[in-house]
Amino acid sequence: MPGFETWGAEERKELQDVLDNGILMRYGFDGPRKGIWKAVDLEKEICKTFGTKYAQLVSSGTAALTTALSALGVGYGDEVITPSFTFVASFEAVISVGATPVLVDVDDTLTLNPEAVRKAITPKTKCIMPVHMCGSMADLDALKEICKEFNLVLLEDACQSIGGTYKGQQLGSIGDAGTFSFDFVKTMTCGEGGVVMTNREDVYIKSDGYSDHGHDHKGVDRGADLHPFVGYNFRISELHAAVGLAQIRKLPQFLATQKKHHTQLKNILSQVPEVSFRRIPDPQGDSHTFLSWFLPTEEQTRAVVAKLKEQGILAGNFYWYDNNWHYIRKWDHLKQGITLNALSPEHKAAVIAQANKEFKASDAIMGRCISTAISLTWTEQLIEEKGSKLVAVIREVLGS
């Protein structure tokens, strides 16, 4: 990862098609666009590649989550269970639709702990939203069973796991809806963009309208469209869709390269007995965007991180426990309920209460975890050098 590392002639060609006709908007202008419909073509490719009946492109992964939650009927008074280790967009989307994010502990998969999910369910729970972090998947069998038992909707935040699978099914295609982000650092990129994927026609129709001001897209032109409900402008542009169309055709190559590089680096780190690796519910389905590994204690992990920084080789190795974007520990703005648009006192209090719970089980895992991003541009020699440097630092800190 990410796809921008392979930018080339394919992306330029798709972009040039759009520049030549000058129609940058995905809707309308049927004549001048001369049959060029990049967003439509990319949606078709997404359905074919990831095995869903429907795909609705939007402007970002955050917009995709917001659109999917709205299309699934999640809103005022509802609770959405999601992990304490995620990207801030997950809880931002939940708050934006008027619901309360209920953050719960992760386990050694770095994703939702099903038992923690079960314990967090209340009469207000409407949705379980697993986040398939760092390229790998949550325990979807367990989460599907919980959803079935309690009549909840399952929304997969698969923004970080493009191309991953679970028991033969593509991540993002298994729940009531799933989302990808196509931002600049994702496995395949549009520059900016996202998608809602679903096999439910009702969710697709609502997503289609919600992301374009409520247009029903049934008129002969945009001026003839009806508006069955209020929507917003989450449209993707033809330029962004054009980039994604080139990138999705390269995805098999990306995934094969990531797997090769991931395997080589993991073999090197496996030389250290004290190093362990994240548990993957379906190892065959890992998209291999990150190699996530653990040391025995938080103190040792911090010492390794400090030594990597001291030697100038920390880049590409992420210590999420101190990261401002991805772990509950540093989300002071959420813990204090700081928003520019005022929330109702009830909603704000609920958000603050959930964000200020203890997450001791997650702390015990995240405090020992380092994730190494897998580059598409590495050579075997470079991986050997990187791995050897990591091993040397680990052994120095552990005294082994």
Quick check: 164 and 171 in contact, CB under 8 A? yes
Q: Which of 101, 116, 163 is nearest to 137 (CA)?
A: 163
Quick check: 336 and 354 in contact, CB under 8 A? no
Task: Say whether 331 sits in a helix, a strand or coil.
Answer: coil
CA distances from 51 to 46, 132, 197, 288 (A): 8, 18, 9, 20
Run of H or E including 194? strand 194-198
Q: Which of 186, 206, 250, 386 is catalytic?
A: 186
Distance of CA 147 to the CA centre of its chain: 21
What does the alpha-carbon distance between residue 13 and residue 16 come to, in Å, rounded to a whole number? 5
- In the sheet where 369-373 sits, what is the strand order? 276-277, 290-294, 369-373, 317-318
186 is catalytic: yes
List all residues 6 or more positions away from 74 whose beta carbon is below 8 Å from its beta carbon: 80, 94, 97, 99, 126, 127, 153
Run of H or E including 345? helix 345-355
Task: Say whether 317 sits in a helix, a strand or coil.
Answer: strand
Active-site residues, by number, are 186
